[in-house]
Amino acid sequence: AIFALLQSHRDESSSPVSNTQTQKPLQGRTVTLTAGPTREAVDPVRYISNHSSGKMGYALAEAARDAGARVNLISGPVQIQAPEGVNLVQVNSACDMLEASLQHLPDTDIFIAAAAVADYRPDNAADQKMKKQPGQNELVLRLVQNPDIVATIARHEQRPFTVGFAAETQDVENYAISKLMRKNLDMIIANDVSRSDIGFNSDQNAVTVLWKQAGSADPATPDIGRYQPDQASKTTLARQLITQISDHFLHSNT
Amino acid sequence: AIFALLQSHRDESSSPVSNTQTQKPLQGRTVTLTAGPTREAVDPVRYISNHSSGKMGYALAEAARDAGARVNLISGPVQIQAPEGVNLVQVNSACDMLEASLQHLPDTDIFIAAAAVADYRPDNAADQKMKKQPGQNELVLRLVQNPDIVATIARHEQRPFTVGFAAETQDVENYAISKLMRKNLDMIIANDVSRSDIGFNSDQNAVTVLWKQAGSADPATPDIGRYQPDQASKTTLARQLITQISDHFLHSNT
């Protein structure tokens, strides 16, 4: 059924060669992406972060630009250059990333949450550097939950077409489907970050795209659509994902 | 008195131009440096780290090489290239950094601890990614104290000439002197990391070098020697600091 679905999209295209660079399916649309890690301050010198390199999100931003979209790239601290022609918005914390995402919401047609957002942040970031206390062998760091950026966007009244990511180390597809449903997403891109050959700092990635099938008998337990491109460079994969996303987005709008 | 001390060192030099590149005062010596931040794993994707760029430590490694030393550069994860001709040892956690430092100790004449080592690490890094629990608004992260690398080296029976750093946000010089004494260091390089124009990610730095004066009446409360070069690029400063360190090292040995 998935193959038939993809096939039908391809048949609708005006040219026999499906190519986002010549077709520009997202011309006139605005894609807002989040990318990279967030950094949550413990004190002025320390922070909690994660191993996201931003490569996947930046590759998606480039592919969205090549598909004709205006692109807002809301990025945590990374070591890579933003693609030319995208609007780079640099942030640190999850709270800052949510604020920037909401600011761009009124103009956003497609929201892709590729950032690896910290689930928790230190309760009160100290203004002064925490001093190690002699004899204090243990320290307790109280963390509070960060806002859930992609869920906030997906439940917003000006809700754009919303795509999430699920970076998991176990039971990847089940967690991803649960996240797709719970957060009211249109699509989710799942990857297994326990594999060291792909994901995070790697240039390669292997993902599974999942979505709720339209026309399921019971909307509470819809059939799940599934697309699994071959493992590839993040650049190649990003083009395939943007094609998938724009196909679903354009169908959802017509 | 400080000026006189510096002057006397300069007078001893064989050439009227004091230049580490031509004089090679550390020829035949081995300098082991730590540099960069450490990363302490919370789980397979998250970590606690700090804003150290490694620039100061890498500049010191380069200056030590130019002064004729063999250089071991034990470095946490940074985004800069190691100087040519130094032995780069890449580590992540404080425990790994201590292990590498101890391995190089038998050959080390001067140990310079420029890394921004995490004081604490998560008690038990989880093998699987921590899942955000619905309704769990708070999380407690139990941290345990990391080994004190520079103090361990300075108290070791094969103790090299040991130089520490003090990155502070308040009362910088008092904290630095206390650290110099408590950790049994030969010298300490203090800087104020609350200033955003210098330190950490900046290319500029301003530091104060402090040491115990030889021949103080009471060894428990020795007079403190003090050298404060002008704010400068980390490269320029590194050359001045290596000159200072090698002067004191050579005096301590003769």
Per-residue pLDDT tens over the stretch A112-169: 999 999 999 998 766 666 666 667 788 888 899 999 999 999 999 999 999 999 988 7
The residues of B annotated as belonging to the active site are 50
Q: Are A46 and A6 in contact (CB under 8 A)?
A: no
pLDDT above 70 (res B175): yes
B187 vs B111: CA distance, rounded Å: 11
User: Taking CB atoms and an 8 Å cutoff, what residues of chain A touch B116?
Assistant: 45
Q: Give the end-to-end CA distance of chain B in Å, rounded to a whole number.
A: 21
pLDDT in tens, B87-118: 999 999 999 999 999 999 999 999 999 999 99
| B116: contact with A, CB 8 A cutoff | yes
Mark the ranges of chain A whose per-residue pLDDT is less than 50: 1-18, 20
A-B contacts at Cβ under 8 angstroms: 100
User: Please, which residues have CB within 8 angstroms of residue B10's CB and are 6 or more apart in sequence?
Assistant: B18
Q: Provide the angle, in degrees to the nearest 10, between the axes of the packed helices B234-253 and B55-66.
A: 60
Question: Is residue B60 classed exposed, middle or buried when 0-12, 13-18 and 19+ CB atoms within 10 A define those classes?
Answer: buried
B82 vs B61: CA distance, rounded Å: 9
pLDDT in tens, B49-70: 998 899 999 999 999 999 999 9
Indicate if ipTM > 0.85.
Answer: no
User: Taking CB atoms and an 8 Å cutoff, what residues of chain A touch B94?
Assistant: none
Beta bridge partners of B194: none
Taking alpha carbons only, the member of B167, B170, B176, B79 closest to residue B115 is B167
Which pairing describes strands B161-168 and B110-113: parallel, antiparallel, or unpaired?
Answer: parallel
Give, for B250, the enclosing helix (H) or strand (E). Answer: helix B234-253
pLDDT range class, residue B201, cuts 50, 70, 90 = low
Taking alpha carbons only, the member of A215, A226, A222, A240 closest to residue A187 is A226
- Measure CB to CB from residue B143 to each of A120, A138, A168 and give the nearest one: A138
Decide: helix, strand or coil at residue A17.
coil
| A126: contact with B, CB 8 A cutoff | no
What percentage of chain B reaches a pLDDT higher than 70? 84
Measured CA distances, B85 to B38, B81, B162 (Å): 23, 12, 22
Tell me, what's the pLDDT at A5? 39
Q: Search chain A and give the residue with CA nearest B48.
A: A48
Tell me, what's the pLDDT at B218? 75
pLDDT above 60 (res B242): yes
Pairwise CB contact (< 8 Å): A140 & B143: yes
Q: Are A82 and A73 in contact (CB under 8 A)?
A: yes
Mean pLDDT of the region B209-234: 85
